[in-house]
A and B are shown apart, each in its own frame.
Chain A
């Protein structure tokens, strides 16, 4: 049985279609990522699955329970970490944990084993008010609170937004640990580089899912050749590269521009055309999730 089943779900707010006929399954014990930019409908989907919203059409179940009719059972067994820090800022770390544990008829001691790897890092600050924690610590506290009642499914809405690169890495390590303990995790992120840490990902944009597969398979379906180009004047390079024959797309990508080409592309004539541009260089590139995402968005 799948942990999460979503079938043809749609949800609109006024004229805005936040989710447009979405379907996917998350297997038990899977770390499933929703990858997409802001406004893709990720948060709406989380709110639907955590029973805060009801869908306009379609149906969905979480841990075998229908999100509309059996929402009470779902609330007993899911952990939710909203995108915005939503614990009580004027309660201490320990008070927040005890409070949320008590709401589920549990206590900190019962859940200590599960949350220990995460909680131990903030335990020295347990008497500090949650509002006074740093961003990374807040995130660890929020994850601890979401885990306090031994949920079978975790919903994490952009947990790494606004967190530094080191903490983000640590956070994904924690998620892998939790996954190994058998907890199903649905996580969303706007960072494409985090996608490779998931078992499977769904690329979403504007309320639709463009593709669902493992990160490797998604990259493997990128069927064009890809180059990275750079020069001293990057903007000039971008303009001139786009005018060359055989170019499907050229876009800024970190320190370089990525160049997606078709069969008409001839690397030698491209090099000749840019020979007089200062610092020009071109090298073949392995496609990333982001390249795939940009490609899918253009279709």
Chain B
């Protein structure tokens, strides 16, 4: 135990003496929490729209003013002809064109109404699709309001939408709990792996290996500081989420910390295994980057797992981040408890055992 204490003390001296690391540990979670939620949003905003009004009726003016009022669009008024608008679309100056045809209002209730035309730039499929959907919704409500003048039935009131758990449909509330995993992956997995392998690269591990220090003691001393730093960093991130976005967990802090501890334990074991199997920092970096890309893209952090193809969905079951992200979102937004989420906790527990067994197995003092 004394040896472990001595080794951990040495690690902390080295970490705090590092010119970069202590600053990184404070700044990194704050930056991730302040910047990432704004940029990883799937909300489509500022859809550039231009409207060619060939009708010039009171209805078309209503449509234009409603589009101008909607928060999703930025309206480009300076276009007169459809061709001119199409050129702008090609140059990516606008994202969608609305063409209101001649006699649109006059023929609206006739047997053969004129068709309103929306052309959207679908290079970015999400923006194209959502942009035109928003336009349809906005124009649809204008039309139904207009129809209500003429008929008695209020069709729009027949459907009531209730957004449970995230009432304002705020995408940031989905991202913030999940983004905390980025901090843990980088600090507990990446940094600890690099720390271990740099002892190999500097040759210091050779001096340690001829001492009576056991391999478990040595590895534990490497990891424990990063476990504490990981918990510290997640706490900072939660404080920032609360202070800046007014988002605090609906469920208990206990379940968040339990999940965090399990994830940290498992993932640092993974980092150690990578470090054990590589000879230098370059190899470690490359392997860790490879896995981080897989974790980020396949864990449901950015895109819902349920919309992936089935083989990819099956694959995600072996990725620890998936379970952690699930837990964080459910506890933060729905207030789920450990009892609700026990399969996820069990899965994280299994990863802790598997990765740490792998770490112990791959660490060699002799060859």
A103 to B218, CA, bound (A): 11
CB neighbours of A100 from chain B (8 A)? 207, 211
Q: Is the CB of A75 within 8 A of B211?
A: yes
Q: B107 on the interface (CB 8 Å rule)?
A: no
Q: A95 on the interface (CB 8 Å rule)?
A: yes
Among residues of A, the one whose C-beta sits closest to the C-beta of B10 is A99
CB neighbours of A78 from chain B (8 A)? 210
Q: B303 on the interface (CB 8 Å rule)?
A: no
CB-contact partner of A91 in B10, B208, B210, B213, under 8 A: B10
CB-contact partner of A105 in B2, B7, B10, B207, under 8 A: B2
Q: Is the CB of A52 within 8 A of B212?
A: no
Do A89 and B6 contact each other (CB < 8 Å), given the known contacts A53-B366, A75-B210, A100-B211? no
Which label, helix, strand, loop or mixed, suits the secondary structure of the A interface? loop
Q: Is the CB of A80 within 8 A of B207?
A: yes
Among residues of B, the one whose C-beta sits closest to the C-beta of A155 is B210
CB neighbours of B18 from chain A (8 A)? 90
Q: Is the CB of A52 within 8 A of B366?
A: yes
Q: B170 on the interface (CB 8 Å rule)?
A: no
Which label, helix, strand, loop or mixed, suits the secondary structure of the B interface? helix
Q: Is the CB of B14 within 8 A of A88?
A: yes
Q: Is the CB of A52 within 8 A of B367?
A: yes
Among residues of B, the one whose C-beta sits closest to the C-beta of A98 is B6
CB neighbours of A102 from chain B (8 A)? 2-3, 6
Q: Is the CB of A91 within 8 A of B366?
A: no
Q: A264 on the interface (CB 8 Å rule)?
A: no
Give the contact stretch, choosing among B160-168, B198-206, B255-263: B198-206
Q: Is the CB of B14 within 8 A of A52?
A: no
A222 to B252, CA, bound (A): 85
Interface residues of A in 37-92 (CB under 8 A from B): 50-54, 71-72, 75-76, 78, 80, 82, 84-91
Interface residues of B in 1-59 (CB under 8 A from A): 2-3, 6-7, 10, 13-14, 17-18
Q: A253 on the interface (CB 8 Å rule)?
A: no
Closest 3 CB pairs of A and B: A86-B203, A102-B6, A84-B203
Q: A: which residues have CB within 8 A of B?
A: 50-54, 71-72, 75-76, 78, 80, 82, 84-91, 95, 99-100, 102-105, 145
